Structure formats: structure tokens, C-alpha cells
Amino acid sequence: MAAPSAQPDPSAQPDTGCRTDRRTLRSRQVLMDALGQLLKKKEFDDISIQEISDEANLTRATFYLHYPDKAALLQAMTAARFGEMLMNRRIGPRQCAGVLKAIALGVCDYLAKASGCPSSLRKMPLERSLIPAIEEIVRVGAAELRLPPGVTPDTFAATLAWAIFGAASHWAQTPNRKPAEQMAEEIESLLRPLLQSFTPV
């Protein structure tokens, strides 16, 4: 199963080289960085959009040009950080089992890290940010597989993504849990037969 060598920033539009696009990318990144800094000092629920805008040296109007509310910004920040974590796993093309383990380990690591965040972040439904990132990787790989009749790449991607996230989420909430590497291997061993049952296109 092929996988992209890099994850797109889910919070931003592609940079086409246009000055406006570069400015958009920069503003979104600055807003995410500002929220990240504020979260080191305060709970998410206690942070206002004005505080985020001030920390980013941007106006409230600029904030609303990019995000409808602070929850959307938080989701974008979470997705971007998770994407970076997956990139750091150096997922290579045409490494089916390796891709599964890399994704699973990335999810385990991210969830373990999130468990040490402020209480409001621990309660955040991370699947809204993580599942789409996982699905995108799987969807690319699905294009190289001959799926059963009636099964779309989207359904295949959603099934694998939720399976990985569900197992990793259960692991993250387990006291005295096994090492992340071991859990990732377990997830990969469970899902590998599914992928091996499909023939290449």
C-alpha cells in the first residue's frame, strides 16, 4: 500500500506561489502557534479569540477569515501536529505492513502525548482531527488494491482508520499499558491479513 511521503497541512490551502496564498498559510500557522503558546498557560475553555489574536499579532477580523471559532483552530492545530508526527515516521511508498505500523505508532504516540495535556484538551474528540489524516494515507494506498465489488476507497479508508484509532485509543486509556511500539505491532498484525487478502491492481 503506497503512502505519501509528506502530509499536507489540513488547515491550509495549497501554496500556489501566489502572495495571497503565502500570506494565508503564514496567518494560519501563526494562529496555531499562538494557541499552542496560550495552552501552556491556560485551559482551552479560558482562552478567548481576542487573546489568540493578540498573541498572534493579528486582528480578530483576520482570525475569522481563517477559522469560524477557536474550536476549529484547535482542530486544525491538532491535525497539523499529527500530520507532522506521521511525517517523522518516514512512511515510505509500497511498504504495506510498514505503513500500518508507522500509522499505528504515530496515533499511539499522539494519544499518549495528549493524555498529558490540560483537562479540556484531554476531553477533545481527537478523532475529528486524526481520522481524516489517517484516511488520506489509506485512501492513497487503496488506489493500488483491487477492492471487493461495491467497496469504495472511502469505505476502505474509513474502516482501517477507525480500526487503528479505536485500538490506539483503547490502549491510551489503559492503566499500565504496554509500550507504544508493541501496541503498534499488535495493530499491524491484526490488520495485515485484511490488506493481504486484496490483490494489486
pLDDT of residue 6: 41
Task: Quote the strand ranges of the chain, DSSP E.
Answer: 145-146, 199-200
Residue 123: what pLDDT? Answer: 56
Element (H, E) at 200: strand 199-200
CA distance 117 to 18: 37
In the chain, the amino acid numbered 110 is: Y
Per-residue pLDDT 10s for the chain (201 aa) are 544 444 444 444 434 444 558 888 899 999 999 998 998 888 888 999 999 999 999 999 999 999 999 988 988 888 888 877 777 766 544 445 578 888 898 889 888 887 766 555 555 667 877 888 888 888 888 888 888 899 899 999 999 999 999 999 999 888 899 999 999 999 999 998 888 888 887
Specify the 3-state DSSP secondary structure of 63: helix
Write phi, then psi, for 102 (nearest 5 degrees): -65, -45
